[in-house]
């Protein structure tokens, strides 16, 4: 069973539109972390945000914002006033501790965002 589900495989928006990328996760742990990474066309993976399971406050960083809701096991990512440079594949990831106390990370399949000028 998928532990991190990104149901939207591809999204296209026109520049300046807002867009939300969905992420639903599954875990039995009470302590865990969630991440978003960006992979632009150049290929590198860039860390965007980390959020722990005890902090449900929404976070805003410039045009980016994240909505974490434990009740629905979701950690959605919104880009406001999208720009062409936002075109990339975005990955959501879940980090849990394995039985040995070490990090175990699961990535979603990614959502490809295309921003059309």
What are residue 70's phi and psi, to 5 degrees?
Answer: -65, -30
- Binding-residue total with another protein (CB under 8 A): 28
Q: Is residue 25 near another protein by the rule CB under 8 A?
A: no
Q: Are 115 and 82 in contact, with CB atoms under 8 Å apart?
A: yes
Q: Strands 10-14 and 74-79, how do they pair?
A: unpaired
List residues bridging with 97 in a β-sheet: 103
Nearer to another protein, 62 or 100 (CB): 100
List residues bridging with 34 in a β-sheet: 51, 94
Cα separation, 77 vs 111, in Å, equals 11
Q: Is residue 97 near another protein by the rule CB under 8 A?
A: yes
Q: Which stretch binds another protein (CB under 8 A): 20-28, 61-69, 76-84, 97-105?
A: 97-105
Q: Is residue 88 near another protein by the rule CB under 8 A?
A: no
Q: Is residue 109 near another protein by the rule CB under 8 A?
A: yes
Sites of contact with another protein (CB under 8 A):
31-33, 35, 37, 43-47, 50, 52, 91, 95-98, 100-110
């Amino acid at each position: 069973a998928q532990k991190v589900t990104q149901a939207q495989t591809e999204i296209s928006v026109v520049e300046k539109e807002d867009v939300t990328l969905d992420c639903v996760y599954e875990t039995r742990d009470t302590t865990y972390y969630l991440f978003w990474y960006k992979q632009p066309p150049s290929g590198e993976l860039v860390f965007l945000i980390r959020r722990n399971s005890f902090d449900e406050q929404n976070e805003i960083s410039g045009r980016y914002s994240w909505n974490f809701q434990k009740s629905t096991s979701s950690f959605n990512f919104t880009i406001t006033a999208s720009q062409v440079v936002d075109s990339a594949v975005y990955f959501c990831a879940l980090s849990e501790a394995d039985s040995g106390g070490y990090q175990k990370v699961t990535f979603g399949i990614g959502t490809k965002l295309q921003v059309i000028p």
